[in-house]
Structure 1
Amino acid sequence: MTSSILFSGNAFSLADGKGRFVIPLEMRKQVKLGSGNENRLVTSFHGKHPCATGFGTIFRQQQEDAITARAIAAMNRGEDYDEDGEREKLFPLMDDVNFDDGGRFFLPDDLKDVSGITDAIFFVGVSRYIQMWNPAAYEASESGHELLKAKCRRFLAEREASGK
């Protein structure tokens, strides 16, 4: 049942010695559920925020279904709708990433570069998908929630104090 695949909460992950991050446990359960019980995370880049996104494979099909529904609605209204253009904006950015049973995964290097992620990720569950932020970028974002920004400030201050 796909309607039960919802992400919430937030957590930090530091890269291990191999450069892998860990998907938080509750989010990992939802990703696995949304990927047919396989350890597969689909990653992409957020269109409005400087962060990566992650979700189960079923969400990819939901995106296709939404594009098709918008095309049909536009046709019924007598309007043009560029289905292929919408697909070209979304699907080339999606990469399947395997993770182990402990949730460890490699974030693609290009995605790390464009989202500014280096050695830490701030995971934010936002209903149908997960946002993956550089903690400093989230703290500086205009759209971030003040409570979560404070959490990022604390995380960054503790890292600086520990010299990491």
Structure 2
Amino acid sequence: MSRRLRFRGESRHKVDTKGRVSIPASFRRVLQAGDPDWTDGLNPNFVIVYGDRRRKYLECYTIEEMEAVEDRISAMKRGSQKRRILERLFLSQSMTTSVDETGRIVLPAKLRDKIGISKEAQFAGAADTFQIWEPETYEAEMEATEEFLDEQDDDFDPLMLLDEDDEEDI
């Protein structure tokens, strides 16, 4: 069984006036591994899901991971409300792009404007995907995480959250 690469870590990168930004090197390796058409000398493709107006970040999927999501959507009852909503959020409100030879991508103005990115972008690994945030928004989300942790007992271990049965949002 082959080892599956994951997106881990966080980093902040400059965004130039044309919207070009470097992808973290460790993320590029995961993108390569998750693109079935990638070989040495080619640029890996991936999918950016920008979603509805409530989404504060861009969610980036490897080609294989996005195909797994698409397969699950395609298996749903055609014409159902759930399928239509998922098609709109993950298929319509997404774009396929590639990493260039220098390890950068171009974030179109529409996507930069949507989440408020101007001079810098915050990258955050999320195992199967990675996220691109406007840095101040990311910091506010991290502060909310710290506040949640501050409310817990002294012996609280975050790994206990893995044992939660319900899908309740924290």
Q: TM-score, normalised by structure 1?
A: 0.71
Q: What residue number does 1:39 align with?
A: 44
Q: CA contact under 8 A between 2:10 and 2:124: conserved in structure 1?
A: yes
2 CA distance for matches of 1:89 and 1:30? 24
**SS of structure 2 residue aligned to 1:140:** helix
- Any residues of structure 2 matched to 1:5-154 within 5 Å, and which? 5-16=5-16, 18-36=18-36, 37=38, 38-45=43-50, 49-68=55-74, 71=76, 82-141=82-141, 145-146=145-146
Greater percentage in helix: 1
1 CA distance for matches of 2:67 and 2:129? 13
1:56 CA displacement: 1.4
Q: TM-score, normalised by structure 2?
A: 0.69
Identity in percent: 25
1:102 CA displacement: 2.5
1 CA distance for matches of 2:68 and 2:35? 12
1 CA distance for matches of 2:47 and 2:23? 12
Q: How many residues align?
A: 138
Once the two structures are superposed, what CA deviation does each residue of 1:95-138 show, in whole Å capped at 9, x if it has no partner? 11122133111012111111111121110000111110111111
1:24 CA displacement: 0.2
Once the two structures are superposed, what CA deviation does each residue of 1:66-119 show, in whole Å capped at 9, x if it has no partner? 2245x37xxxxxxx7632332122101111112213311101211111111112
Q: 1:140 to 1:22 in 2, by over 3 A?
A: same
2 CA distance for matches of 1:2 and 1:65? 22
Superposition RMSD in Å: 2.7
Q: CA contact under 8 A between 1:2 and 1:34: conserved in structure 2?
A: no
1 CA distance for matches of 2:45 and 2:131? 16
2 CA distance for matches of 1:6 and 1:91? 23
Q: What residue number does 2:156 align with?
A: none
**SS of structure 1 residue aligned to 2:65:** helix
Q: What residue number does 1:159 align with?
A: none
1 CA distance for matches of 2:127 and 2:98? 21
Q: Which runs of 5+ in 2 are unaligned?
A: 147-170
